[in-house]
Amino acid sequence: MIYKTFIHDDFVLENDTAHQLYHNYSANKPIIDFHCHLDPKAIAEDYRYDNLGDMWLGGDHYKWRAMRINGINEKFITGEVSDKEKFMKWAETVPYTVSNPLYHWTHLELARCFGIHELLSPKTAEKIYHQTVEMLKSPEFSTKNFIKRMNVEMIGTTDDPADSLEYHQQLINDGFEVKVLPSFRADNVLKTDDVLSFIAYIEKLGKAANISITSYTNLIDALDERHAFFHRMGARISDSGPDRFFYAPYTYKEVSAIFEKLMDGKAISSEEKEKYNTAVMADLARMNHKRGWTQQFHVGALRNNNSRMFNILGADTGFDSIHDSQPSLKMSQFLNLLDSTDQLAQTILYNLNPADNQMLLTMCGNFAGGSSVSKVTYGAAWWFLDQKVGMERHLEDLSALSLLSRFVGMVTDSRSFLSYPRHEYFRRIVCNYVGKEVEKGLIPDDEEILKNVIEGISYNNAKSYFKF
């Protein structure tokens, strides 16, 4: 069939069953975006973007990476040139992203957020830029109104333990209809390579907790104080992004000595780092269990590979890659350490190396028992895997080695307010996958079964799992 526009009713949907599944059971479900990197200040202050260049390119390292690959000068990516100049260079790059998820995302966002179905290219860029500038002047494009228009029910931001959460409080005071809840990400207490930066962070954390941190016991007390504060502010999720799981047998006497060494400004050995990281991550995980939270672990990223650009731009600017395979034994030992004392909280595991999909899925099954459904479960295809081929492989492995019907679904993991159509993209890919299996005769064409699977993955499973 030939369609008049690239983004159309059957986009990604390859058969009639997929079409029916998406439009009947998925399309209109609210969005629970339980993990993202949106700025709560921008939401609380109902920020208004002036132009699509700022809205699209202000912090999107996916686009930055593509522009670099396309040979765009860095000044048009992260430099001091105007938003319009950056937008025009992105428009120059877009035709070269054909077959990359950025091409799909870009045109889904234009279609769903602005009602624009023209393909973005140097020929259409000027028109689209000015058209969206005019549209962004409308109140419906204020941050809060846009979130509501996208049918978002819940947003989980990512926040440091030392954060004041003042903007989350402001959103509560203002009575904003969409839940914007903080998530506890304590990665900075694991960053011990730069000892001076580590000490400065510990002092910052101590001030936030009103505790003088001079010992490992003080450190855990301070983290627990902030964890309790986050809980009072509605947080029910933690997140951690180590490159891998850590495990080494340790005693508190050993870890206390390692912490004192760090606070004295001395570097620690790799063996000491393994013990310290194991202890801190385990104590944080016990806090999650104590307060009934869900903990997320995003593992497998090799970050900040380009030291020259890191020194210029800092972290999260598009110079990361997939790490080698995860050490499965250490992951098993860490999870077992918590489970052995019945202190393993609900856990979601994400990985960045597709070679680890099946290993992580079988690891989840080892610790899935207990009072909650999918106590340890496999998260959505993440980062470099958050694309059609990656999601399809993810769904195949999930179906083969776990329970597809219990999958908690999609998160944007994004810094962009325009990313919500990625939920549609994900849902279409899921419906297409299930639709093809139905038409092959591998899943029964039974309305009750299919409705349960699609509504669950699209919305119901996350709603039930997190109990916000």
What pLDDT score was predicted for residue 3? 77
The one-letter code for the residue type at 63 is K
In a domain, 30, yes or no: yes
State how far the Cα of 322 lies from the Cα of 353, in Å rounded to an integer: 6
- 142-161 tens-digit pLDDT: 999 999 999 999 999 999 99
Q: Is the pLDDT of residue 332 over 90?
A: yes
The CATH number assigned to the domain holding 174 equals 3.20.20.140
Two tokens, residue 88: 């025009």
DSSP state of 320: -
311 lies in the same domain as 378: yes
Instruction: Report how far Cα 59 is from the mean position of its chain's Cα atoms.
Output: 15
Two tokens, residue 74: 């860095």
State how far the Cα of 389 lies from the Cα of 101, in Å rounded to an integer: 10
38 lies in the same domain as 87: no
In a domain, 460, yes or no: yes
User: Once rounded to an integer, what is the mean pLDDT over residues 412-435?
Assistant: 96
Find out whether 406 and 465 touch, Cβ atoms under 8 Å.
Answer: no
User: Once rounded to an integer, what is the mean pLDDT over residues 187-197?
Assistant: 97
Find out whether 378 and 339 touch, Cβ atoms under 8 Å.
Answer: no
Q: Among the three residues 81, 113, 141, which one is the final residue of a domain in this structure?
A: 141
Q: Among the three residues 114, 141, 168, which one is the final residue of a domain in this structure?
A: 141
In a domain, 262, yes or no: yes
List b or e across 117-141, with b for residues whose CB sees 16 or more CB atoms inside 10 angstroms: eebbeeebbeebbebbbeebeeeeb
Provide the edge-to-edge strand list for the sheet that holds 152-156: 31-33, 152-156, 179-181
The contacts found for 404-407 with CB under 8 angstroms, 24 or more apart, are: 404/453, 404/457, 405/452, 405/453, 405/456, 405/457, 406/373, 406/374, 406/377, 406/456, 406/461, 407/377, 407/378, 407/456, 407/457, 407/461
List b or e across 282-311, with b for residues whose CB sees 16 or more CB atoms inside 10 angstroms: bbbbbbbbebebbbbbbbbbeebeeeebee
Contacts of 343 (CB under 8 A, 6+ apart): 285, 286, 289, 290
Two tokens, residue 331: 């992951």
In terms of Cβ atoms closer than 10 Å to its own Cβ (0-12, 13-18, 19+), residue 84 is: middle
In a domain, 11, yes or no: no
How many distinct structural domains can be found in the chain?
A: 2
Residue 371 binned pLDDT confidence (cut-offs 50, 70, 90): low
First to last CA, the chain: 43
What domain range is 55 assigned to? 48-141
Read off the pTM: 0.96
Q: Among the three residues 120, 141, 162, which one is the final residue of a domain in this structure?
A: 141
Find out whether 381 and 391 touch, Cβ atoms under 8 Å.
Answer: yes
Helix (H) and strand (E) counts for the chain? 20, 10
Q: Is the pLDDT of residue 252 over 70?
A: yes
List b or e across 417-434, with b for residues whose CB sees 16 or more CB atoms inside 10 angstroms: bbbbbbbbbbbbbbbbbb
Contacts of 32 (CB under 8 A, 6+ apart): 153, 154, 409, 459, 462, 463, 466
Overall residue count recorded for the chain in this entry: 468
- 30-58 tens-digit pLDDT: 999 999 999 999 999 999 999 999 999 98
196 lies in the same domain as 325: yes
Find out whether 414 and 38 touch, Cβ atoms under 8 Å.
Answer: yes
80 lies in the same domain as 223: no
In a domain, 120, yes or no: yes
309 lies in the same domain as 273: yes
Residue where the block lists tokens 């025009």:
88
Q: Among 15, 22, 10, 12, which Cα is nearest to 431's?
A: 22
- 268-316 tens-digit pLDDT: 999 999 999 999 999 999 999 999 999 999 999 999 999 999 999 999 9
User: Once rounded to an integer, what is the mean pLDDT over residues 317-326?
Assistant: 92
State how far the Cα of 215 lies from the Cα of 240, in Å rounded to an integer: 23
In a domain, 10, yes or no: no
State how far the Cα of 349 lies from the Cα of 382, in Å rounded to an integer: 10
222 lies in the same domain as 161: yes
In terms of Cβ atoms closer than 10 Å to its own Cβ (0-12, 13-18, 19+), residue 456 is: buried
105 lies in the same domain as 188: no
- 75-90 tens-digit pLDDT: 999 999 999 999 999 9
Q: Is the pLDDT of residue 372 over 90?
A: no
Residue where the block lists tokens 């109104």:
145
Q: Is the pLDDT of residue 374 over 90?
A: no
Two tokens, residue 104: 């799909």
42 lies in the same domain as 59: no
